[in-house]
Amino acid sequence: MRTTILGRSGLEVSRIAFGTGGFGGQWGGFDEDTAVAAIRRAHELGITLFDTARAYGTAEALLGKALRSELDHRRDGVVIATKGGTHPGSDRIRDSRRAWLTQGVDESLRALGVDHLDLYQIHWPDPRTPAAEVAGTLQEFVDAGKIRHAGVSNYDATQLSALNETVETVQVPYHLFRRGAEADPLPYARAHNVGVLAYSALGSGLLTGSLIADTVFDPSDWRSRSSAFRGDPLRHNLKIVDRLTAFAEERGGTVSQLAIAWTLAKADVAIVGARRPASIEKSAAGFPLTPADLAEIDRISADAVPVGGASPEGID
């Protein structure tokens, strides 16, 4: 497993991170024992960075359970990143005020069973809370030893610049069917040595090769309400996936390995979720791509239908 230094944070992490968003209730049900096994298998494969969030329901507690031995006895061997600042069910879904962030970071510490978080990220920008207040709160967490490093998620370049001296990483949605980050904020992040973590590297399942045109999603799965995952948009993108699959197989890999390698050509880290050990085994396998390969992948996917994702307010 290759590693990288995550921007100016200085954190050395695996280039593939294990994401726990699939355990948060927005992707349908899952088996907890199998999920724990998948997390443990990820660590065995050399994955050291694990990403979770307060908004993912019991995911933090599940991650703490799965990595209990490492967290208790080899704490420096794993990097725990979580996110806060959302308040589902309230009249302020995005809430980065000091009081709510403080409550959230303390809850995250308890759920994970740790005395500090390696990376704490503001999950979604809150336009109603001044950047200076957010920066001050994050610095308080660092000074108190609750967190080692601060980051943000789903921020654009303008929002990043307002927190530039405090924030060391940014998490962005980025995959072959969602490429807006290439224009904003990736150039800003590169220019200011902000570490980039790309989530949904597998296109919310599209780039796993497991979906078909007739796939039926659980009603609790956000994809059941997304126009990109039904009808003509889905059929069109699945044809592109078929061509990408053939391209990957010619080179001895899978379409998911290709998708992750493509993402890592632009981002420091690709966050990959898995509910079963076999899934993370496939994703963790390396897959080298040449500049010519990257150009061909771009050509194959040039007319893809853009795919959004879930947000605190609904579906993008």
Active site members: 56
Q: Measured between alpha carbons, how far is 174 from 243 in angstroms, rounded to an integer?
A: 20
Q: Measured between alpha carbons, how far is 101 from 114 in angstroms, rounded to an integer?
A: 17
Residue 51 is given by DSSP the state E
Token pair 């530039």 is at which residue?
Answer: 164
Q: Which residues pair with 205 in a beta bridge?
A: none
Question: How many C-beta atoms surround the C-beta of residue 143 within 10 A?
Answer: 9
First-to-last alpha carbon distance for the chain, in angstroms, is 33
Q: Measured between alpha carbons, how far is 132 from 111 in angstroms, rounded to an integer?
A: 28
Question: How many C-beta atoms surround the C-beta of residue 255 within 10 A?
Answer: 24
Q: Which residues pair with 150 in a beta bridge?
A: 120
Kindly state the greatest CA–CA separation across the chain: 54
Q: Name the burial class of residue 145, with classes exposed (0-12), middle (13-18) and buried (19+) by CB atoms within 10 angstroms of its CB.
A: exposed
